Amino acid sequence: MLDVTSSLRHRLPVSMAMVRQLCGELQAALGLQPRRVALGVHFVGETRMKALVAQAQSHELASAQPPPRSARPTDILAFGNPMDVAADGLHKHPASSLEEMKKCNLAWKSAYGDPVRDIGELFLCPAVIERDCLKDQVTFEGRLPVLLAHGLCHLLGHDHDTMRTSAQMFQLEQQLLQAVSPHTGKLLQPLARYTNESDQLAKH
């Protein structure tokens, strides 16, 4: 159960069909059944994204991705479902591989039967993404699967608030993007990254 929306006045750089296809492929690679998972993917403008960041900061919401310190629009913001037991378990004990993540998601299905699992919502800001794409010399189409993979990892309990968790998330995203690369036709690099030179994490 995928809900893809756009509040933008202009058309997206990619089709809604492509967004749905990418989400389906990423969920399948994670061991999730798209028809049995509730996921919202929303494209918003900079004003709306800035408000979401400010709201997350002021209310300290249980978002899957920690918002930036200043209320500035960001490329993607993930709000997980605090009632998702499986994601909560992974947050406490992060999966070290894509295979382990699949096992966790399949275990959830075995434990709870076949209800629809609400994993949360992703908010993306095309204006910010396009600026980043221009700076990094990549296309919007090429960056989108990377952002969606990053957001889904956050929704499923992963984070990059320490060197260890950042390294784990990087590895998981790398495996996830490799799993969907035959469908995208691109060699994609993870968004989560870390540096051994300092404790400053490159956070999104």
CATH of residue 157: 3.40.390.30
Give the pairing of strands 2-6 and 37-43.
parallel
Total number of residues shown for the chain: 204
The answer as to whether 174 is a domain residue is yes
Residue 71 lies in a domain: yes
Whether 190 is covered by a domain: the verdict is no
pLDDT, one tens digit for every residue, the chain (204 residues): 888 888 988 888 899 999 999 999 999 888 888 788 899 999 999 999 999 988 777 755 444 455 445 668 889 999 888 777 666 666 677 677 888 888 877 776 666 666 788 889 999 999 999 999 999 898 999 899 999 999 998 898 888 777 888 888 888 888 889 888 765 545 566 665 543 333 333 334
In a domain, 147, yes or no: yes
Which two three-digit tokens encode residue 193? 């990254």
Range of the domain at 41: 2-184
**202 within some domain:** no
- What was the pLDDT predicted at 70? 60
Nearest-CA neighbor of 71 among 92, 97, 47? 47
How many folded domains does the chain comprise? 1
Neighbour tally for 130: CB within 10 Å: 15
Kindly state the tokens that stand for 51.
């408000």
Is there a domain that residue 118 lies in?
yes
- Look at residue 37 and tell me if it is in a domain: yes
Kindly report the pTM of this predicted structure.
Answer: 0.81
DSSP state of 106: H
Q: pLDDT value at position 95?
A: 74
